[in-house]
Amino acid sequence: MGNYQALSKFILENVGGKENVLSVTHCMTRLRFTLKDDSKVNEDILKKSSEIMTAQFAGGRFQVVIGTHVSDVYNEIQGVTGADKTEEAEVKKTGLNRLIEIITKVITPVLGILTASGLLQGILALLTITNVIDVNDGGYIVLHAMGQAVFYFLPVVLGYTSAKAFNLNPYVGMMLGATLVIPELMTNLVTDKALYTLFDGTMFSTPVYNTFFGIPILFPPNGYQYTVIPVIFITFLGAKVEKILKKIVPPLLAHNLNSFLTILITFPLAILIIGPVTNVLSSLISAGVSGLYEVSPVITSVVVGLLYQPLVIFGLHWPMSAIGINNLAQYGVDYIFPMSFTASFAQTAVVLAVYLKTRSRNQKALAIPAMISGMFCIIEPAIYGFSLPVKKRFAFSMIGGAVGSLIISIFSVKMYAFAFGVLGFVSFINPANSSLGGLYVAIFATIVTMAVSFSLTFFTFKSSEDVVDEETKPLIKQQEVLAPIAGTMQPISSSADETFASKTMGEGVVIFPTGSKVVAPAAGVVTTVFPGGHALGITTENGTEILIHIGIDTVELNGEGFDVQVEVGSKVKQGQTLVNVDFEAIENKGYKSEVLVVILNTDDFLDIISEEKTTVKQAGKMLTLIPFNGKATNDMEVSY
């Protein structure tokens, strides 16, 4: 295991420091931060790190995509922040963002054991087909129990993860889940003869076998084993109950009473109301998706095949996965997962095509681990390193995935276990009759998927899209950056803003202005205009990235005092007006008016030299940028 202290520190600094982190979780490749103040994130700086694939806001959280070593980085960050025990529940999220966050927190931690269960069932099917083992053998019985256990006791496992998601005592969550599946309930609450039937004659017809102090218990005939949704809602209720109890139970009694009262109040309500309702909802969701699939499996498969990979980028694929897991848990078969099965192979094929065409040694070196990861259904390295940077490649991967999904749906292929990538082929073997038909179709669909994505990428590859290694880049001449405004110039370390003063964002200067007009310090394209106009970004023809930040904390003014003259995409000449600023109004509101000029890609230069003078005129010489492949003509020193 590598040392990720430096990377962890870098990430924390650029998400606003540990004090800005409410919570942090991770999946297989990315960190997911819930922050107190999203505006403190230095997204561009994080994206520029060679150790970070990308960083973005998605699903109501800030995500930093690292790779398969994410757990090591997470452990480092967790050690510093203790972010798993924070006030995350106080952050208000609604609608889709909240749903995605909950599903991610509940489902992601159990993916490993679900995959293990799927592999066990697949191996068992292979052993049975090849007559290595008989269904009556003790070995079969043990292996079958191992493969089924996680699904049978899924409410217990999800009770724990749901409780963590809702800030409930996780062991209370486990007990709520365990009580749902205890055999005694199934034995005594479902008898041969029902007392009466509620909603008789409708699709919601439910037999009543027993009562709870006169209240009918609508216990499902098959029990709550193998279910997903009921326990999530039950632990949500438990979290609300516990939160109320913490306010009213004296601290001296809380340790013993809170858990007892939470379970005592929650579980009867769960059995009487939440369980039946959510069990019906779960069935309706599955029936709805199943109905859509029955109406047009072709259209459904194409849509899922196309959209799955874009959903992965934003971490929005979990709701669909939850339905698939629910199907496997309840019915032992699923049609959702097969439609997304070939996606990882499509991405892998794109990487293979790039590997064969690129002249970049760095790209070739990165392609090998990306392909290996892709074969095991970890596709973020392929997405962020190869397909997404050239948008058409990502489209080719989507097309390949859709073709594979279409083939699978045409043959009505199902999956019988949760497993993906090369290890997932065994999940297409039908354990009931050991049929290999689904396996053959899955292999064929995968081959076609890879052929489509590979061919489209390989034959449309252009040298202009290729990555150029640093040592082969053309020479860049030294560049001058002029003062955007007249005033007194000082080292950036003099800034009142600690982030800028520490040079975390890059080298630069701070100007205490005497004018009111801010102009372009160099010719280029406006790449960023922050809301309100307090900050702008310009990228020059040579790729120099310049940030002009006007005032400290002036984002809070919401544009008051700023008259922006350009927009994102505007081509500007050196000296062209960018924004007119009412510095007097800014200062009257208590904000500092300093203007910061920062070279965001400082590491791309051998040196950044400031003029010795402290007073600068507008459009006067301010900085000289010396590239690594250039050489100063005299012994200039960095001085201010």
Look up the CATH number of the domain holding residue 561: 2.70.70.10
Instruction: Tell me what pLDDT residue 82 has.
Output: 59
Query: If you average pLDDT over residues 495-512, what whole number do you get?
Result: 85
Q: Which two tokens stand for residue 541?
A: 């023809």
Domain boundary among 48, 76, 92: 92
pLDDT tens per residue, range 400-449:
999 999 999 999 899 998 788 888 898 999 888 888 999 999 999 999 99
Q: What is the mean pLDDT of residues 307-321?
A: 67
Flag whether 616 is in a domain.
yes
What is the per-residue pLDDT for 247? 87
- pLDDT score for 187: 80
Query: Can you give the pLDDT at residue 547?
Result: 93
Residues 290 and 303 in one domain: no
Count structural domains, the chain: 4
Domain that holds residue 382: 296-465
The structure tokens listed for 367 are 């392609």
> What is the rounded radius of gyration, in angstroms, for the C-alpha atoms of the chain?
30
Is residue 147 in some structural domain?
no
pLDDT of residue 372: 82
Which pLDDT value is given to residue 463? Answer: 73
Q: Are 377 and 289 found together in one domain?
A: no
Residue predicted with more confidence, 131 or 179: 179
Instruction: Summarize the confidence of residues 93-111 as an average pLDDT.
Output: 64
pLDDT in tens, 141-162: 998 888 888 878 889 999 999 9
CA 319 to chain centre: 13
| Alpha helices for 229-296 (secondary structure H) | 229-248, 251-269, 275-295
- Average pLDDT over every residue of 620-639: 56
- 410 and 432 assigned to the same domain: yes
* Whether residue 282 has pLDDT greater than 90: no
Query: Phi first, then psi: what are they for 405, rounded to 5°?
Result: -65, -40
Q: Is residue 41 part of a domain?
A: yes
Q: Do 307 and 450 sit in the same domain of this protein?
A: yes
**CATH number of the domain encompassing residue 30:** 3.30.1360.60
Kindly state the percentage of the chain with pLDDT values over 70: 84
573-600 pLDDT, tens digit each: 999 999 999 999 999 988 889 999 999 8
Q: Per-residue DSSP letters for 148-193?
A: HHHHHTHHHHHHHHHHHHHTS-HHHHHHHHHHHH-HHHHHHHS-SS
**552 contacts 535 by C-beta, under 8 angstroms:** no
Domain boundary (411, 441, 465) is at 465
Q: Which of 337, 334, 344, 354 is nearest to 309 (CA)?
A: 344
Domain co-membership, 250 together with 300: no
Give the residue from 603, 604, 609, 637 showing the smallest Cα distance to 625.
Answer: 609
Question: What's the pLDDT score for residue 97?
Answer: 59
**Based on the number of CB atoms within 10 Å of its own CB, is 19 exposed (0-12), middle (13-18) or buried (19 or more)?**
exposed
Catalytic residues: 27
Same domain, 290 and 302: no
Q: Are residues 318 and 202 in the same domain?
A: no
In this structure, are 417 and 310 located in the same domain? Answer: yes
Segment 514-522 mean pLDDT: 93
> Are residues 160 and 54 located together in one domain of the fold?
no
In a domain, 437, yes or no: yes
Same-domain check for residues 406 and 500? no
Residue with tokens 């256990």: 149
Residue 38 located in a structural domain: yes
Residue 88 counted as domain residue: yes
pLDDT, tens digit (0-9, with 9 covering 90-100), for 373-404: 788 777 767 876 788 778 899 999 999 999 99
Judge whether 168 lies within some domain. yes
pLDDT of residue 468: 53
Q: Using the predicted structure, report yes or no on whether residue 494 has a pLDDT greater than 90.
A: no
Average pLDDT value for residue range 236-261: 89
Q: Residues 300, 332: one domain? A: yes
Last residue of a domain, one of 442, 465, 488: 465
Does the pLDDT at position 26 exceed 70?
Answer: yes
Residues 300 and 272 in one domain: no
- Between 41 and 195, the higher pLDDT residue: 41
**Is residue 280 one of the residues assigned to a domain?**
yes
Q: Does residue 637 surpass a pLDDT of 50?
A: no
Round the average pLDDT of the chain to a whole number and report it: 82
Residue 604, pLDDT score: 79
CA distance 28 to 321: 15
Mean pLDDT of 461-474: 61
